[in-house]
Amino acid sequence: MAQPAFDLKAAAYAEMIHEGFHPDFPPGTEQQIAEIRARHDPQASGDTRDLRSLLWSSIDNDTSRDLDQIEVAERVAGGIKVLVGIADVDSAVATGTPIDGHAASETTSVYTANRTFPMLPEELSTDLTSLNEDQDRAAIVIEFVVDPEGAVNSSAIYRALVRNKAQLTYNGTGHWLEGNAEAPQKVAASAELAAQLKLQDEAAQALRDQRHKLGGARQRRSEGSHGESQDSRERSDRRFHGGGERGDGADAEGERAVGNPAGGEDA
């Protein structure tokens, strides 16, 4: 007798519930999204700085749509000043609302082998609050200076209005920085962007060398799409977190991977 086909998506849904998650967004979510969209117009005012003129860029997987982080760097007296912009979802989602309650309950997006259970609605994570190219967006900026020895100084955190000038990928940017490939089209078209990425890479290398001097493990990054070289992922990860490097596959939403060894995105 033929056995019924096993429904992987249904099994993933049931496992989410078993583990205490709430895989469905609560009532009122659609209405809240419509209200956010109607009033969405990020502005620089009060304590929010206008940093849209800076040459921000993002580096993500080839298929990424939820861009939660951008970076820019500047050489200053004493080292390299690094600015990391994190998508400011809080600016759009009020406390105590359905989306806020769901995010507080879930605390993470969960990736299974066949389905993603997002912490935030895609209308926010891939559109209204995503740091998409050529879009004005609200961000929380972490600023710090990396000295020539890789030590971190002069840190600050503040709100800002930003604009991603170049959405780049790990594959293209990493191989270029390693000297194993031509520059990606956007990089080849802008000497300023090329210099900016190399400056970020210099800061990242200084941070990495300092971490190794202090006994940090030389582990490979797990982030990136399947088929991408591990060395490329390590070199191309321009993501700075509080003076360190992103090495655990978690992003600004606190995402975690289940059943996906790469820890990558399905979106």
Read off the pTM: 0.79
Residue 19 within any structural domain of the chain: yes
Tokens (6 digits) for 190: 């802008």
Residue 264 within any structural domain of the chain: no
Task: Characterize 238-256 residue by residue with b for buried, 16 or more Cβ atoms within 10 angstroms of its Cβ, and e for exposed.
Answer: bbbbebebbbebebbbebb
Domain count, the chain: 1
Whole-number pLDDT of residue 235: 39
Whole-number pLDDT of residue 217: 63
Residue 248: pLDDT band with limits 50, 70, 90: very low
Measured between alpha carbons, how far is 187 from 246 in angstroms, rounded to an integer?
23
Tell me the average pLDDT across 229-256: 38
Give the count of beta carbons closer than 10 Å to the beta carbon of residue 10.
10
Whole-number pLDDT of residue 267: 37
Residue 117 within any structural domain of the chain: yes
Range of the domain at 65: 10-257
pLDDT digits (tens, 9 = 90+) for 11-25: 999 999 999 999 999
pLDDT digits (tens, 9 = 90+) for 37-61: 999 999 888 899 999 999 999 999 9
Residue 262 within any structural domain of the chain: no
Residue 235 within any structural domain of the chain: yes
Residue 2 within any structural domain of the chain: no
Residue 98: pLDDT band with limits 50, 70, 90: very high
Residue 123 within any structural domain of the chain: yes
Of 10-14, 163-167, 209-213, the least confident: 209-213
Residue 189 within any structural domain of the chain: yes
Measured between alpha carbons, how far is 233 from 181 in angstroms, rounded to an integer?
14
Whole-number pLDDT of residue 23: 96
